[in-house]
Amino acid sequence: RMTTRYDETDFMVSLYGVLHEAGHGLYDQGLPENELGTPLGQAASLGIHESQSRLWENRVGRSHSFWKTWWPDLARAFPDLAGHNWEQCWRAANAVEHSFIRVEADEVTYDLHILLRFQLETRLISGDLKVRDLPGAWNELFQKLLGLSVPDDARGCLQDIHWSLGGFGYFPTYTLGNLTSSHLWQAAHRELPGLQASLDRRDYQPLLGWLRQKIHAHGRRYLAGDLIRQATGKPLDPEAHLSVLEQKVKDLASVS
């Protein structure tokens, strides 16, 4: 079971929420069943877990291939899309713009939302920032990083559940997940020459099988960094993710 959220005026909100949570679910389903309850039956780290969700959400779900091949089904399911085409919706799904809500942020600005939270929670933990002063500190840093004036705390420091649940230190796992997802994505394409053709046929089994073999099957046998190095042949670095984002911006800037 998994939960999602809906916006009756924008189906992409739930679409990408479902893809994200499905990525988490696929990882959990791929852990060695006979090792459940032991470290070998657990995820390698929260960052690795987020890499699986962000890979399916963004690398697969926001791709040309996804929108082009699923467009007939989407058009039938959502009559309001009449008069539009797959490329218009692909561009809308990848539009780069500053926004208040982290879970609705585009890939290019998303990690600024994480940086904001990381800097603030570091100050909260150290005692340098008092909880009563958090809204003002949030709004000031948000203006600095994203250039927007936060209208209320619902779109500011109260939008996430993490701190209320005691989940301090969790937010950086999303950025680790972003970096790792692009790292794995490029490695999968290097090792599976026919991967793109499979994705174009809506055949996701080769990609899932590769993730099962390289990531899921190992549980917590290795430290996260060692697992990534073993899976891809390279240590984790930001270059793969930067390359993916640069290519995305170039694609968006191109004239069809």
SS3 164: coil
The angle formed by the CA atoms of residues 180, 185 and 191, to the nearest 5 degrees, is 125
Of 11-15, 55-59, 151-155, 197-201, give the lowest mean pLDDT range: 11-15
Residue 141, phi then psi, degrees to nearest 5: -70, -35
Residue in 225, 236, 227, 181 with CA at minimum distance from that of residue 207: 181
High-pLDDT (> 90) share of the chain, % = 93
Q: What is the pLDDT of residue 6?
A: 86
Given a cut of 80, whether residue 256 has pLDDT beyond it is no
- Looking at the domain assignment, is residue 116 inside a domain? yes
Looking at the fold, whether 86 and 184 belong to one and the same domain comes out as yes
How sure is the predictor about 43, in pLDDT bands with cuts at 50, 70 and 90?
Answer: very high
Give pTM, 2 decimals: 0.92
Of 6-10, 55-59, 86-90, give the lowest mean pLDDT range: 6-10
- Which one of 157, 172, 187 terminates a domain? 172
- Looking at the domain assignment, is residue 2 inside a domain? no
Residues 195 and 30: their CA atoms lie apart, in Å, by: 20
Active-site residue identified among 21, 35, 104, 191: 21
Cβ(108)–Cβ(249) under 8 Å? yes
Looking at the fold, whether 20 and 87 belong to one and the same domain comes out as yes
Looking at the fold, whether 29 and 130 belong to one and the same domain comes out as no
Cβ(89)–Cβ(67) under 8 Å? yes
The residue-averaged pLDDT of 58-84 equals 95
Measured from the Cβ of residue 39, the count of other Cβ atoms closer than 10 Å reads: 11
How sure is the predictor about 19, in pLDDT bands with cuts at 50, 70 and 90?
Answer: very high
- Looking at the domain assignment, is residue 167 inside a domain? yes
Residues 145 and 98: their CA atoms lie apart, in Å, by: 10
- The DSSP-derived string for 202-251 is T--HHHHHHHHHHTGGGTTSS-HHHHHHHHHSS---THHHHHHHHHHHHH
In tens, the pLDDT along 136-179 reads 999 999 999 999 999 999 999 999 999 999 999 999 999 999 99
Q: What is the pLDDT of residue 254?
A: 84
> For helices 46-54 and 172-191, what crossing angle results, to 10°?
60
Q: What is the pLDDT of residue 255?
A: 62
Across all residues in the chain, what is the average pLDDT?
A: 96
Q: What is the pLDDT of residue 4?
A: 87
- Looking at the domain assignment, is residue 253 inside a domain? no
Q: How is residue 237 written in tokens?
A: 């670095």
- What's the length of the chain? 256
- Which one of 115, 147, 172 terminates a domain? 172
Active site residue 239: no
Looking at the fold, whether 94 and 207 belong to one and the same domain comes out as yes
Residues 11 and 27: their CA atoms lie apart, in Å, by: 25
Stronger pLDDT, 253 or 195, i.e. the higher one? 195
Looking at the fold, whether 228 and 141 belong to one and the same domain comes out as no
Looking at the fold, whether 94 and 24 belong to one and the same domain comes out as yes
High-pLDDT (> 70) share of the chain, % = 99
Residues 29 and 65: their CA atoms lie apart, in Å, by: 25
In tens, the pLDDT along 117-128 reads 999 999 999 999
- Looking at the domain assignment, is residue 212 inside a domain? yes
- Looking at the domain assignment, is residue 5 inside a domain? no
Residues 97 and 109: their CA atoms lie apart, in Å, by: 8
Token pair 């585009």 is at which residue?
106
Given a cut of 70, whether residue 89 has pLDDT beyond it is yes
SS3 190: helix
Looking at the fold, whether 115 and 21 belong to one and the same domain comes out as no
In tens, the pLDDT along 92-118 reads 999 999 999 998 899 999 999 999 999
> Domain residues for 82?
11-98+177-244
Looking at the fold, whether 134 and 184 belong to one and the same domain comes out as no
How sure is the predictor about 3, in pLDDT bands with cuts at 50, 70 and 90?
Answer: confident
Q: What is the pLDDT of residue 38?
A: 97
Looking at the fold, whether 45 and 74 belong to one and the same domain comes out as yes
- Looking at the domain assignment, is residue 114 inside a domain? yes
Looking at the fold, whether 91 and 17 belong to one and the same domain comes out as yes
The angle formed by the CA atoms of residues 117, 171 and 66, to the nearest 5 degrees, is 115
- Which one of 172, 201, 227 terminates a domain? 172
How many structural domains are present in the chain? Answer: 2
Looking at the fold, whether 156 and 214 belong to one and the same domain comes out as no
Looking at the fold, whether 142 and 193 belong to one and the same domain comes out as no
